[in-house]
Structure 1
């Protein structure tokens, strides 16, 4: 039985503004709404079954998240980040997630390692079965889990925020390339081995190289468009 003071017993229902914000943030983060798309409040209100007011509130929150921008006579537009922003994004990720891996190597528990290996094995199974479209989300979960283990107080939160700030279109995922998928699964294995060995230097180096390689792949893909 839940105690009177439990969080579950007093969970507040999601407001309409929160609902709109969560839907739009997820759509932008997963690039289902691509950069440069204009967001018309009236159209969004009709599509999501709410009034204009919560839509406008959600758009203001997305602007603070730097996911949309406002321009005169255009309204809200999903930010289309530049090539320079792409490079900076992966550089920041490499630093934060590299540090997360370093710290995780010093404090990871056997149970946490078992959970990470189970997630990795699921990715290996999906890759072998050709379910490449499932790998991107699983990889994100693995990376953020390591950051959360390494920096549960602050660093993990920053890793989540950075990831959410730059949408990766599903069609641009390196995991859709079988050769890239196999390479990165090998890197994940090396990373988990370093965590198990409590080797912070190797864990950090593998993570940094891994993230930078992802950035190089994305940048090359942009130039080919």
Structure 2
């Protein structure tokens, strides 16, 4: 619950977290809250200062640039590897998800596109690196909370551009062209970072 609240930015960056207050809000004892705060610090979602307590990390411009840069490298590698490992069944699943997103955009149903895009990207990472690359892609994405209200997918023009990029990634995967799949994925993720920063 606490992790979801931070990842969704319901608890925004810069918020002080007091274990006793969090425990009372969640209706649990302080002990599991302290353990949760230690895990969140390890995942770099909060910082802890002795005598000051825990604070949710506030992601500045430099951190966002780094986040999208790391995402581009990891998800780009996932796309490269996926091009050599993808099966017809994988393609059917990705094509179906992409078609659903295109239909949502056409119907003006933008609210769920961000989560579907996450599923699209992570599915490709899982196909490319089932041993641990997909897990790393998830960890990177989970390290920076993006409020649903700030999703780039809520802008129809941005959503169309993102879906075009997904279509090109699918074509490269279908052609088993790892170089192209990686390049398109890297450009796509980096463009998201540019749009987020502007």
Normalising by the smaller structure, the TM-score range is: over 0.9
What secondary structure is seen at the aligned counterpart in 2 of 1:53? helix
- Taking the aligned partners of 1:74 and 1:130, their CA distance within structure 2 comes to 46
Shift of 1:121: 1.1
Shift of 1:154: 2.0
Bigger Cα Rg: 1
What secondary structure is seen at the aligned counterpart in 2 of 1:158? helix
Residue in 2 aligned with 1:204? 182
Residue in 2 aligned with 1:176? 154
Residue in 2 aligned with 1:31? 9
Residue in 2 aligned with 1:11? none
Runs of 4+ in 1 over 3 A off after TM superposition: none
* 1:161 aligned onto 2:106: no
- Taking the aligned partners of 1:67 and 1:201, their CA distance within structure 2 comes to 33
Match of 1:81 among 40, 47, 59: 59
Shift of 1:171: 2.5
* Contiguous gaps of at least 5 residues in structure 1: 1-22, 221-225
* Contiguous gaps of at least 5 residues in structure 2: none
- Taking the aligned partners of 1:74 and 1:133, their CA distance within structure 2 comes to 37
Say how many residue pairs are matched. Answer: 198
What secondary structure is seen at the aligned counterpart in 2 of 1:133? coil
What secondary structure is seen at the aligned counterpart in 2 of 1:77? strand
Shift of 1:49: 1.2
